[in-house]
A and B are shown apart, each in its own frame.
Chain A
Amino acid sequence: MPVFAGTDLTCLRGDRLVFTGLDFRVGSGEALLLLGPNGSGKSSLLRIMAGLLRPFRGRLAWDDAAVADDPDRHRGRAHYVGHLDAVKPVLTATENLAFWAALGGAPVPEERARAALARLGVPHIAGVPGRYLSAGQKRRLNLARILAAPAPLWLLDEPTVALDRAAIGLLEAIIAEHRAGGGMVVVSTHTDIALPGAATLHLDDFTPAGPDDGDDPGDDAGDDDEDTRP
C-alpha cells in the first residue's frame, strides 16, 4: 500500500517563512484536508507536494523513497489542480481534455475525455470552444482532467471555487470513488466539502510566530505565489 509523506517541511517564499516543521502523511485510500487562513501556505504546500516548488528544507517520500531522487516518476503519479484552469480558448472542451489525457498516457484520449466530461455532469460542452465556457464550466473541465488520465495522488487546490452545489456533490462522489479504489487526495478549501474520515492539517499551527505577522495583508496564498515570482 503506497504512502505519501513529508517530514519537517519548511517553505520560504521570498524572504517570508510561510510554514516550518510541517509533517504530513497520506496513505492509500486516505484524504488530507488542508485548512488555514489566507496566506498560511495551503497552495505552497500543494505545490511542494506536486513538485512545482522545492521545499526550503525537509523531505518528501513515496513509500520511503525520497521523491527528490526520482522527480520524473513522481510527476507521473500526481494530478495537480491549481487556481488556473489551463483551458485554451480556441480548442473545444474535448480537445482541451484529450490533450491532457494523451500526455497523461491514456490509450484513447477522446473517449476518456468525453467520459470524464459526462462524469462531471457537463457532456453538453464537449464541442464548445473554451472561450464560450463559464467559470464554473472551466473549473469542471479542469477537474475532468484528473479523471481523463489515471493517477493515484490527487492534489486539489480549492477545487470548489466557482462550482455550484450540485457540482460540489459530484466532486465529493468522485473523490470518494477514487479513495475507494485506493487513491489518495489532498484538498485545500475554505468551503465545506464532505470528505468522510479525512485527516485535517491546520497550516496556521506551523506558521512561525514573528513580528511580521501583523503587517501581512493576508492575501490568498495563490496570489502570494505571483507576488514572489522572480
Chain B
Amino acid sequence: MNRFLTLVGRDLRLALRQGSDATIAVMFFVLCVVLFPFGVGPEPNILARIAAGVIWVAALLASLLSLERLFQNDYEDGSLELLVLTPLPLEAVVLAKTLAHWLVTGVPLIVAAPLLAVLLNMEADGFGVLVLTLAVGTPVLSLIGAIGAALTLGARRGGVLLSLLILPLYIPVLIFGAGAIDAAILGLSPRPHILLLSGLLAGALPLAPWAGAAALRQAVE
C-alpha cells in the first residue's frame, strides 16, 4: 500500500511540476464546449437540449487527449522497465498511474463542468446529476484509456491509434452519462443510468489494471 501511494505521489508531483498536462485537458474541455454556441447558434432552447451530450462528449475527448502520455514518458526514459521490476505488482502500478492521471485530468473536468452547464443554459435540475455522472464516469474513461495507452506503447502515431481503439469503448459511458442527465431534466429518475455507470466502474476497476499490466509486459519485452 505504501509503495502504491509512493507511485501515486510521484506521478502527481511530476504532473504538477510539468504543469502542462493537467491544464491542457481542462482548457481543451472548456474550449470544446464553448465552440458549440458558435456552431449551432445562441438559441437557448437548442443549447439546453444538447448541453448534457456536448459536455459529456467534450469530457470524453479531453480525457483521451492526455492518455497517450500515461505510460509514454516512463517507457521512453527506462522507468517503465524498472517499474516492471519492482516488488509492486504491475497491476498495482497501472492502477496507481491511472489514479494519478484521473486526479490530475479528471477532477478538474468535474469542477469545470457546472460552469459550462450554466453557459449552455442547462436546466438546474441536471447540475447535481451532471457532477455525479462525471464523478463516476471519468474514472471509467481513465481506466479504459489505460488499457489503450498500454497497448499502443511504442507504436508509431500511437495517439491516433489510441483514439481509434478507445473511443468505441467509451460509447456506453457516454450513453449512460448523458442519459442520466436527460432523465433528471425530464423529471424521471436518473438512478438506473447511474447504477449502470457504477456497474461499468465496478467492472473496469479490476479488469483494466489486469489488461493494462499484460500489455505493459509485452511492451517492455
Contacts and interface: CB of A to CB of B under 8 A. Distances in A.
Bin chain B's interface residue count: 20 to 34
Nearest to A73: B87
Contacts of B78: 82-86
Interface string B184-221: 00000000000000000000000000000000001111
Contact of A75 (B10, B17, B85): B85
A1 interface: no
B128 interface: no
Q: Is the contact region of chain A dominated by helix, strand, or loop, or is it mixed?
A: loop
Given A75-B87, A100-B82, A103-B88, A87 B17 contact: no
B221 A54 contact: yes
A53 interface: yes
Given A80-B81, A90-B17, A90-B18, A99 B10 contact: yes
A148 interface: no
Interface residues of A, number: 29
A99 B6 contact: yes
B43 interface: no
Contact of A82 (B2, B81, B83, B89): B81
Given A52-B220, A54-B221, A72-B87, 20 more contacts: A50-B85, A51-B85, A52-B84, A53-B221, A75-B86, A76-B87, A80-B81, A85-B77, A88-B14, A88-B79, A90-B17, A90-B18, A91-B10, A91-B14, A102-B3, A102-B6, A103-B7, A105-B87, A229-B154, A229-B221
Interface of A: 50-54, 72, 75-76, 78, 80, 82-88, 90-91, 95, 99-100, 102-105, 145, 229-230
7 interchain residue pairs of minimum CB distance: A84-B78, A90-B17, A86-B78, A76-B87, A86-B79, A102-B6, A103-B86
14 contacts: A50-B85, A52-B81, A53-B221, A72-B89, A82-B81, A87-B77, A91-B14, A91-B17, A102-B2, A103-B87, A105-B87, A145-B82, A229-B221, A230-B218
